[in-house]
Amino acid sequence: MFSSVTESRLEIFNVADGVEGGEKAPAQNGVQMVFERYLQPCLAELFGTTLFVFVGCVSVIGNQGVEGVVQPALAHGLALGALITVLGEISGGHFNPAVSLSLYLCGGMELPLLGPYMVVQMLGGIIGAGLAKAVYPAALFNAAFGGAFSAVQLPAQTAGAVVAETVMTLFLTSVVCLGVANARTRSQMAPLCIGLTLSSCVLAGGAVSGACMNPARAFGPAVVANYWNYHWIYWVGPLCGALLTVTFVRLLFGDQTTRILLK
């Protein structure tokens, strides 16, 4: 989720330019440049998404029979904050297609990385869910649908779930885009804020929709557990939330570099 940072952006890591801290990058040969600019970020996204989804699925499976969502909320939020901190300067620490989309549309990453990021995030989701399946006995894994999202059981619940996913993803991606890719609101506390935002959303909306906010987190366990009930919610809601964030940042809250009106 740490992403593009030119002089007018957060001076930690620039996926587009491959420079750190605003310093001029040392001369690189072609192979090294391609590796650090394209391959290494994709590998970091794959690695980080795998670990995030593994922790998320294991926390949900292990929470079976326990009332409340405190365990999954803490597990998801703490894991995300830690992974952003250690991998952010390599890939931006997205681990979420909705985050990648919102950052790209807000000018926080370059187009050639968007498609590969989404592909490796989905693959990381599958690997992470597969590792969760290897950890637990089949009975526990199947009882929790492998950590897939099963909060919605009736058609009447779908509208509320879509709204919840949209608003919670709006919250999450707004914190990402404003905390990282916007000069006036950027913060060195962004990893902590993003992790806390995720945890708060799981605590608030876990009973309504499962509080996914991440198509990769939904897709991985759905594939491994073959559980597809109302799976579309976890694509429509997060992507709508990401697009709403882009609208607000580009029209209202962005700095002069980001905002497209009233410059």
Q: Which residues pair with 19 in a beta bridge?
A: 14
Residue burial 206-218, b: 16+ Cβ < 10 Å; e: rest = bebbbbbbbbbbb
Which regions in the chain score pLDDT beneath 50?
Answer: 2-14, 16-23
Residue 261 has a pLDDT of: 80
Residue 26 has a pLDDT of: 55
Residue 262 has a pLDDT of: 77
pTM for the full predicted model: 0.88
User: How is residue 83 written in tokens?
Assistant: 């992974």
Domains of the chain: which residue ranges?
13-22+32-253
Question: What is the sign, positive or negative, of the torsion defined by CA atoms of 168, 172, 178, 181?
Answer: negative
Residue 123 has a pLDDT of: 98
Residue 1 has a pLDDT of: 54
Residue 263 to residue 256: CA distance in whole angstroms = 6
In order, the DSSP letters of 158-225 are HHHHHHHHHHHHHHHHHHHHHHHS-TTT--TTHHHHHHHHHHHHHHHHTTTT-----HHHHHHHHHHH
62 alpha carbon, distance to own chain's centre? 22
Superfamily designation of domain 13-22+32-253: Glycerol uptake facilitator protein. (1.20.1080.10)
Query: Please, are residues 170 and 244 in contact by the beta-carbon 8 Å criterion?
Result: yes
